[in-house]
């Protein structure tokens, strides 16, 4: 037998973390890493945050799982807090981002079904998008890399160029249910949509009775310096998928919707065995306790500005490698002039954890509660690695 015990779908790196503490991870031999990957934008309070850890421990010892057959005081409380701080009137809790996007897709289709337009099934999606790895979400993103060999893909999605409002408008027809878009693309290379594009999509939805569905699984939950990224575009969606940071490391996702958008989601139309269980709700509450404290988002913005300034100063010293920095808040991307894929493992070997993205970008996704000292250490590690890095022959 040569197959590995873990189904070999990931190119796993030699980093084998066994312990975490704040912005640091420790490997099996005790080696220390500065974690500016945060489990891909998940550990937004860093590792072992005492408030989050205690909330999970206490809840585990009280009540871990029941069923959505029963009333959920824990779910109602967290949903209400999310509603109080967002556009939403109602929330469906999931265990992952892909499930949150699935629920968002179903909600958008079901809206038109409930409104007597059952032919409106098609969501217009965008190039370089990432929405998860389920059949519907790989069909939505449409990239051949993800669908190859998994056909038939699901119908009901049409992909047009990201940030191109004319292309989005031209794709609207009688079968269109709405748009599904990441306000800041993550896997696609940390690419923020323009203001005109997001506002334009909102206007197209209003004019044509369509659903604006945002995938904020990566860019939401404080990552870009506001609770959700849409706030910075001066618009509100009809439906939004959240996950990653929402549980701070505990598996949790959520599909948020307005009352109008959720008008088709009646009893029996959707469900999840684990979704919204007491343990996940405790984690979600603990994360909100911290990020809704006065000044937290200001801290994210301030650290994001510092980090960006420091990078803008340092990157030109290695201009054979780096083109520049882009993104918002603490969701930044360093665009490289060379292949970013081998650079990321090199950084890991130097004790710095980051994530690659498409378009030769290296993602900078630190915990949101980092301090200036972490930024200083990051810049030192990155700059010394850049100095020593030998670009592999193509
Ligand atoms: C990570 C991600 C997903 C999928 O989340 P999973 O928890 O891996 O299912 C969906 N959309 C975006 C934008 C993501 O970054």
Domains and CATH numbers, the chain: 17-49+295-388 (3.90.1150.10), 63-291 (3.40.640.10)
366 Cβ below 6 A of ligand 1: no
Q: Are 107 and 256 in contact (CB under 8 A)?
A: no
Ligand 1 centroid – CA 316 distance (Å): 32
What is the average pLDDT value for the chain, to the nearest integer? Answer: 97
> 216: annotated binding-site residue?
yes
Ligand 1 centroid – CA 130 distance (Å): 7
Q: Are 154 and 137 in contact (CB under 8 A)?
A: no
Ligand 1 centroid – CA 119 distance (Å): 28
75 Cβ below 6 A of ligand 1: no
Question: Angle at CA 219, nearest 5°, toward 213 and 222?
Answer: 115
Q: Report helix, strand or coil for 203.
A: helix
218 Cβ below 6 A of ligand 1: yes
Tokens of 243: 């996950």
- B/e letters for 195-206, b = 16+ CB within 10 Å, e = fewer, are eebbebbbebbe
231 Cβ below 6 A of ligand 1: no
Ligand 1 centroid – CA 313 distance (Å): 32
Q: Residue 393: what pLDDT?
A: 83
Q: Are 218 and 38 in contact (CB under 8 A)?
A: no
Q: Are 354 and 364 in contact (CB under 8 A)?
A: yes
CA distances from 235 to 86, 87, 256, 276, 377 (A): 11, 10, 15, 28, 37
Query: Residues in the chain with pLDDT < 50?
Result: none
| Closest atom of ligand 1 to CA, residue 98 | 9
CA distances from 193 to 134, 181, 190, 196 (A): 25, 9, 10, 8
Paired sense of beta strands 361-364 and 331-336, if any: antiparallel
Ligand 1 centroid – CA 6 distance (Å): 21
97 Cβ below 6 A of ligand 1: yes
Paired sense of beta strands 239-242 and 17-21, if any: unpaired
Ligand 1 centroid – CA 41 distance (Å): 10
> 147: annotated binding-site residue?
no
130 Cβ below 6 A of ligand 1: yes
Q: Determine which residue's CA is closest to atom 15 belonging to ligand 1.
A: 218
> 273: annotated binding-site residue?
yes
Q: Residue 93: what pLDDT?
A: 98
Ligand 1 centroid – CA 319 distance (Å): 32
Whole-number Å distance between alpha carbons of 203 and 198: 9
Q: Determine which residue's CA is closest to atom 10 belonging to ligand 1.
A: 131
DSSP string across 296-329: HHHHHHHHHHHHHHHHHHHGGGGTTTEEEEEEET
Ligand 1 centroid – CA 351 distance (Å): 26
186 Cβ below 6 A of ligand 1: yes
132 Cβ below 6 A of ligand 1: yes
Q: Are 56 and 286 in contact (CB under 8 A)?
A: yes
> 97: annotated binding-site residue?
yes
Q: Residue 47: what pLDDT?
A: 98
> 74: annotated binding-site residue?
no
| Closest atom of ligand 1 to CA, residue 218 | 15
Pocket test for ligand 1, best of 42, 94, 217, 230 (most atoms within 8 A of CB): 217
Q: Residue 1: what pLDDT?
A: 83
> 130: annotated binding-site residue?
yes
């Amino acid at each position: 037998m040569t197959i590995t015990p873990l189904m070999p779908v990931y190119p796993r790196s030699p980093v084998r973390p066994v312990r975490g503490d704040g912005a640091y991870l420790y490997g099996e031999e005790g080696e220390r890493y500065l974690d500016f990957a945060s489990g891909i934008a998940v550990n937004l309070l860093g590792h072992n945050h005492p408030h989050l850890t205690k909330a999970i421990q206490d809840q585990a010892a009280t009540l871990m799982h029941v069923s959505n057959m029963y009333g959920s005081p824990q779910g109602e409380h967290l949903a209400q807090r999310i509603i109080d701080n967002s556009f939403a009137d109602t929330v469906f809790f999931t265990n992952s981002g892909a499930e949150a996007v699935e629920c968002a897709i179903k909600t958008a289709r079901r809206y038109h079904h409930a409104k007597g337009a059952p032919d409106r099934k098609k969501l217009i999606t965008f190039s370089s998008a990432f929405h998860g790895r389920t059949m519907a979400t790989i069909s939505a993103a449409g990239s051949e890399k993800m669908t190859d060999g998994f056909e038939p893909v699901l119908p009901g999605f049409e992909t047009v160029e990201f940030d191109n409002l004319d292309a989005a408008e031209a794709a609207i027809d009688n079968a269109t249910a709405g748009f599904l878009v990441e306000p800041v693309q993550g896997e696609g290379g940390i690419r923020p949509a323009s203001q005109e594009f997001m506002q334009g999509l909102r206007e197209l939805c209003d004019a044509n009775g369509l659903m604006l569905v945002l995938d904020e699984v990566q860019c939401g939950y404080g990552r870009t310096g506001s609770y959700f990224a849409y706030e910075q575009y001066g618009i509100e969606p009809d439906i939004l998928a959240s996950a990653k940071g929402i549980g701070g490391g505990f598996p949790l996702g959520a599909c948020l919707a307005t009352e109008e958008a959720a008008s088709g989601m009646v009893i029996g139309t959707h469900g999840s065995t684990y979704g919204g269980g007491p343990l996940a709700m405790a984690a979600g509450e603990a994360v909100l306790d911290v990020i809704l404290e006065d000044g937290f988002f200001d801290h994210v913005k301030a650290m994001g500005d510092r980090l960006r300034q420091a990078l803008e100063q340092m990157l030109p010293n290695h201009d054979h490698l780096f083109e520049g920095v882009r993104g918002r808040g603490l969701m930044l991307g360093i665009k490289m002039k060379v292949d970013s894929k081998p650079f990321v493992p090199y950084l890991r070997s130097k004790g710095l954890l980051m994530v690659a993205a498409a378009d030769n970008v290296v993602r900078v996704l630190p915990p949101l509660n980092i301090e200036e000292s972490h930024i200083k250490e990051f810049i030192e590690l990155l700059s010394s690695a850049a100095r020593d890095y030998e670009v592999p022959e193509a």
